[in-house]
């Protein structure tokens, strides 16, 4: 089955760190750009970061630059998001997706990150 | 404040046609394609329209997309109760070097 499955979410204190993972299956993961998108409670979608097929190009939304790092391991069909210096405003459901702006767009089911003391 | 502007809500009765707008600028919708996503209650978004006006296989032809200048629209004809969902538009913004979304529109089927 073609799917993306996120994991690693949870409750973390402000200033803490968390690493999200996204496992791809059923397709050749290395062929696609991959992204992280988040959705704060009751809010719209916000693009967080993108990474090129070979990891050579990365882009971030300004609010996470210097705090979040996107990476991938094509040998393990996996996408990651290392989140440091977390803030309350980072609380959201985090989705991984492939080819966000293309016909081959596919979303995972999401993982909840809660930043609270 | 989202870069792309969508109405927060829309509604219609079964069988009606509704349209949801997505307004942007020359750096995003004006020069790039638009995707639309449907998010049913409690679920992840799903691709609904790509390249502004193309439907993925499996999406009913009741759903259609269009783009003109710096605005895009999603039209749903023959409205059904299962269409009740949030709808989001997105595009690449060449000035911000980022993917930008609209704030989402909650569609209610009355």
- Give the pLDDT confidence score for residue B1 in this predicted structure: 83
- Give the pLDDT confidence score for residue A104 in this predicted structure: 85
Q: Which of B99, B101, B102, B103 to mutate to test the interface with A (most CBs of A within 10 A)?
A: B99
> To which residue do tokens 């097929």 refer?
A53
Smallest CA–CA distance, residue B52 to chain A, in Å, is: 10
Query: What CA–CA distance (Å, rounded) separates B94 from A85?
Result: 28
Three-class SS state of B81: helix
- Give the pLDDT confidence score for residue A41 in this predicted structure: 95
Residues A13-39, mean pLDDT to the nearest whole number? 97
Instruction: Annotate B40-77 with b (16+ C-beta within 10 A) or e (fewer).
Output: eeeebbbbbbbebbebeeebeeebbbebeebbbbbebe
pLDDT in tens, B43-84: 999 999 999 999 999 999 999 999 999 999 999 999 999 999
Q: What percent of chain B has pLDDT over 70?
A: 100
Query: What CA–CA distance (Å, rounded) separates A95 from A47?
Result: 9
- Which tokens sit at B78? 């023959």
Beta partners for residue B29, in sequence order: none
Chain B hits for A102, Cβ within 8 Å:
50
Three-class SS state of B66: strand
Contact residues for B39 (Cβ-Cβ < 8 A; gap 6+): B45, B46, B85, B86, B87, B88, B104
What are the backbone dihedrals phi and psi of residue B95, each rounded to the nearest 5 degrees, phi first?
-80, -40
Smallest CA–CA distance, residue A6 to chain B, in Å, is: 12
Smallest CA–CA distance, residue B66 to chain A, in Å, is: 15
Inter-chain CB proximity B104 and A95 less than 8 Å = no
Contact residues for A28 (Cβ-Cβ < 8 A; gap 6+): none
Inter-chain CB proximity A45 and B44 less than 8 Å = no
Contact residues for A102 (Cβ-Cβ < 8 A; gap 6+): B50
Inter-chain CB proximity B51 and A110 less than 8 Å = no
Q: Is the CB of A67 inside 8 Å of chain B's CB atoms?
A: no
pLDDT in tens, A83-112: 999 999 999 999 999 988 888 899 999 999
């Amino acid at each position: 089955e073609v799917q993306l499955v996120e994991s690693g979410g949870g409750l973390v204190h402000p200033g803490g760190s968390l690493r999200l993972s996204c496992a791809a299956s059923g397709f050749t993961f290395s062929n696609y750009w991959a992204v992280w998108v988040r959705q704060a409670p009751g809010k719209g979608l916000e693009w967080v970061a993108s990474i090129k097929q070979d990891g050579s190009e990365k882009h971030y939304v300004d609010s996470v630059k210097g705090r979040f790092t996107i990476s991938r391991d094509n040998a393990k069909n996996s996408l990651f998001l290392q989140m440091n210096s977390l803030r309350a405003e980072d609380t959201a459901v985090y989705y991984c997706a492939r080819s966000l702006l293309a016909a081959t767009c596919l979303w995972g089911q999401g993982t909840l990150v809660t930043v609270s003391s | 404040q989202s870069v792309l502007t969508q109405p927060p809500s829309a509604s219609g009765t079964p069988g009606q046609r509704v349209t949801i707008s997505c307004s942007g600028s020359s750096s995003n919708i004006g020069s790039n394609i638009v995707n639309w996503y449907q998010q049913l209650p409690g679920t992840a978004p799903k691709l609904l329209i790509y390249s502004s006006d193309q439907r993925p296989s499996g999406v009913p032809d009741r759903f259609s997309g269009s783009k003109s200048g710096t605005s895009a629209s999603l039209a749903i004809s023959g409205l059904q109760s299962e269409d009740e969902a949030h709808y989001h538009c997105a595009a690449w913004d060449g000035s911000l070097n980022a993917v930008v979304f609209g704030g989402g529109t909650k569609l209610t089927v009355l």
